[in-house]
C-alpha cells in the first residue's frame, strides 16, 4: 500500500462540478492499494499517516501530528501510485489491486482514521476528480507499506 501525504492549508475534491470533500489545515492523502496488500499493510499506513510528526511546534520544528494540531485528513483513492513506467512511456497498472479490493481497503482506511478521532473527508472512489490544495511548506511525504522508499 502506498500513500502520498501532503501537509495542506486547505484542500478539496470536486466531482461533476460538486464539492464532495473538503478540509482546512491537515493532510491530503492519496492512497494506492497493491495486489496482495493485507491488514498489515493497512495498519502500517493508517498508523504512519495518523502519527506523522510533520507539523511545526512552537519552536518551528516538525514535531506535531495532524491530531496534535487539530487538523483533518482528506483521503483520495489513487491507483496510479502503482503506475510502472520503467518500460516504454505508457504506465502499466498491473500491480494495482482490483477495484473491489482497493475500495474495501480505501473504505477501511477512512474508517480507521475516523476511529482515531481524526476528522476525515474523502473523494469518490473510481470517479474523475479535480483535487485542489494549498501545500503548506511544501511538505510531501511518500509512504510504502513494503518500505520500498
Of the residues 30, 55, 67, 79, only one is catalytic, namely 79
- Between CA 93 and CA 105 the distance in angstroms is 18
**Count of beta carbons in the 10 Å neighbourhood of residue 16:** 10
Give domain limits for the chain: 2-137
- DSSP secondary structure string for all residues of 59-90: TS-EEE-TTTTT-EEEEEE-GGGG-B-SSSSS
- Between CA 49 and CA 43 the distance in angstroms is 10
Q: Is 79 a catalytic residue?
A: yes
The class of domain 2-137 in CATH terms is: alpha beta
Q: Is 30 a catalytic residue?
A: no
Q: Partners of 135 in the beta sheet?
A: 8
Q: Is 140 a catalytic residue?
A: no
Task: Give 149's pLDDT tier (boundaries 50, 70, 90).
Answer: confident
- pLDDT per position as a tens digit, 75-128: 999 999 999 999 999 999 999 999 999 999 999 999 999 999 999 999 999 999
Amino acid at each position: 500500500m502506498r500513500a502520498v501525504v501532503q501537509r495542506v492549508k486547505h484542500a478539496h475534491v470536486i466531482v461533476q462540478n460538486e464539492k464532495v470533500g473538503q478540509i482546512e489545515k491537515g493532510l491530503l492523502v492519496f492512497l494506492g492499494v497493491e495486489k496482495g496488500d493485507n491488514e498489515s499493510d493497512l495498519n502500517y499506513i493508517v498508523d504512519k499517516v495518523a502519527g506523522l510528526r510533520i507539523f511545526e511546534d512552537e519552536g518551528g520544528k516538525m514535531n506535531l501530528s495532524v491530531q496534535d494540531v487539530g487538523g483533518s485528513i482528506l483521503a483520495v483513492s489513487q491507483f496510479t501510485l502503482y503506475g510502472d513506467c520503467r518500460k516504454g512511456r505508457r504506465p502499466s497498472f498491473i500491480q494495482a489491486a482490483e477495484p473491489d479490493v482497493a475500495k474495501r481497503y480505501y473504505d477501511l482506511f477512512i474508517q480507521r482514521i475516523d476511529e482515531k478521532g481524526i476528522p476525515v473527508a474523502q473523494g469518490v472512489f473510481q470517479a474523475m476528480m479535480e483535487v485542489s490544495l494549498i501545500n503548506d511548506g511544501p511538505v510531501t511525504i511518500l509512504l510504502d507499506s513494503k518500505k520500498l522508499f
